[in-house]
Amino acid sequence: MAMRETGVGTKASGEVCRVCAGRTYVVERQGDQALARVCGCSENCPVCGGRGHVLVEREATFSQKVGPRRYEVMEPCGCTLRRRRVALYNEVRLPGVVAHASFDNYRAFNEAQDRGRGVAMHFGHQFVKGATSKGFILSGPVGTGKTHLLAATLGHLVIEMGVRARYVEISLLYATIRRGFQEGKSGGEIIGPLSEVEVLAIDELGKGRGSPFEMETLDELIARRYNAGRTTLFATNYSLEPERKARPGGPTGYRTTEDAKAVVKDAELLRERVGERIYSRLCEMCTFVELPKDTPDRRRTRQEMDSLHPPPTGMRSMGR
């Protein structure tokens, strides 16, 4: 990890800490949120002795006659940076279910998922603070790891790079604004902070009733970020296809009412859910990654495997 100090994250014996695996911090599920804390192995910093800053020697040339000169400056210690980044992570408000999400433990079932992981990793590792960066949007069925990749990306940006970021599930944002109205708050007061963070992840894009209130809220949020050149990441269950594809019917062309409803739902496009104005901006703001409709639901696959291979009697099931 880039911000580790010498000797931190290890025991006196030289062994790597089993709690944090040498990362010096721990991310845990606490209620419905993923929260970070400094690991106990790193609370007492051996570098600064708890002062939070260190003297660092620098060399610079202030005059051609004098030549290069050495001098000392006071800089924040790595432990101070770690505490700041842990605090930043806790402002992201990631769901507790993805507390342990990382690029390494993302399981890809097909080439499209592998590409999605690659796009997210490339974005995270190539991101430059302060620069305008193109985000990405992940589309696919439920349970295919879209939120996992959003969480892994934000975790990397915040903990490793100190980027200010936020996560929001769109229907919960609508509910938060409605509650705010009852407390005398305007929608702008809630949207404002989301408009200003360097990277924002919007999950479940397209979800909702499509009411004027929801469309106006989404349009304002994306417009603010688009106009400011800020990076936004998205995940959606709706197709990114630009047009509806023809869906062949049965031999006689007849469909039951339920079949017709299923076909319509399957064919829904993000473009139709968010409108032409927002969709056009998404095309400019993001790299599109679409997962096939037959991509396995990881939650169902895990449950089905567990039911086929239950743990031996007397053994407790480990959390995953």
pLDDT tens, residue by residue, 92-127? 999 999 999 999 999 998 999 999 999 999 999 999
On whether the pTM is more than 0.95, the answer is no
Asked whether the predicted pLDDT for residue 305 surpasses 50, the reply is no
Domain with CATH 3.40.50.300 in the chain: 93-243+262-302
pLDDT given at position 49: 79
Whether residue 148 contacts residue 101, with contact meaning beta carbons closer than 8 Å, is answered with yes
**Using CA atoms, how far apart are residues 5 and 240, in angstroms rounded to an integer?**
44
| C-alpha to C-alpha distance for 41 and 10, rounded to whole angstroms | 7
**Across 69-87, average pLDDT:** 87
What are the beta bridge partners of residue 71? 58
pLDDT greater than 80 at residue 40 = yes
pLDDT tens digits, 211-258? 999 999 999 999 999 999 999 999 999 999 987 765 555 444 554 554
Which range among 129-138, 206-215, 299-308 shows the weakest confidence by mean pLDDT? 299-308
116-125, 282-291, 309-318, range with the lowest pLDDT: 309-318
For residue 260, the model assigns a pLDDT of 45
> In this structure, what are the phi and psi dihedrals at residue 156, rounded to the nearest 5 degrees?
-65, -45
For 93-243+262-302, give the CATH class: alpha beta
